[in-house]
Amino acid sequence: MATAVVSLAFAWVAGLAGLALYLCVAAGVHFGVQAITYLQHWGLGVDSVEGAAHVAYFRRRRRKHFAVDGFHPNSASYKYGYTTARKMLGLQSQPA
C-alpha cells in the first residue's frame, strides 16, 4: 500500500519520469534484497576454509542449533558462534 501511495506521489510531483524512476528503484531494492539473501543462504559456503570443522559441528547437532524448519539458527548456535569467534580473535571468553 505504501509503495503505491509513494509511487503516485512521485508521479504527481515529477510526472511519468518520476514514476518510472521510483518503480525502477523499488525493483532494484527488491532484487538487491533477494540477491543478498541468496548469497547469505547459499553462496557463502565454508567447506574450503578453516571453518569447515564448525560446519561439521552444526551438521551433527542440527536439532540442537537450528529452528524446527532445520534451516534458521536458534539461540544455541549464536552462543556457539560468539564463543568460537572470541577464541579465534584471542579475546577472553565471557562467563556463561
pLDDT digit string, tens, across residues 54-75: 667 777 776 777 777 766 777 7
Domain residue limits at 19: 1-44
Average confidence (pLDDT) over 16-31: 92
Q: Do both 3 and 27 map to the same domain?
A: yes
Q: How far apart are CA 36 and CA 42, in angstroms?
A: 10
* 58: nearest Cα among 40, 81, 37, 42: 81
Q: How far apart are CA 26 and CA 33, in angstroms?
A: 11
Q: Do both 30 and 65 map to the same domain?
A: no
Average confidence (pLDDT) over 30-48: 75
Q: Do both 13 and 51 map to the same domain?
A: no
The confidence band for 14, taking pLDDT boundaries of 50, 70 and 90, is: very high
* 80: nearest Cα among 60, 68, 38: 60
The three three-digit cell numbers of residue 14, written as one number: 515529477
Q: Do both 73 and 37 map to the same domain?
A: no
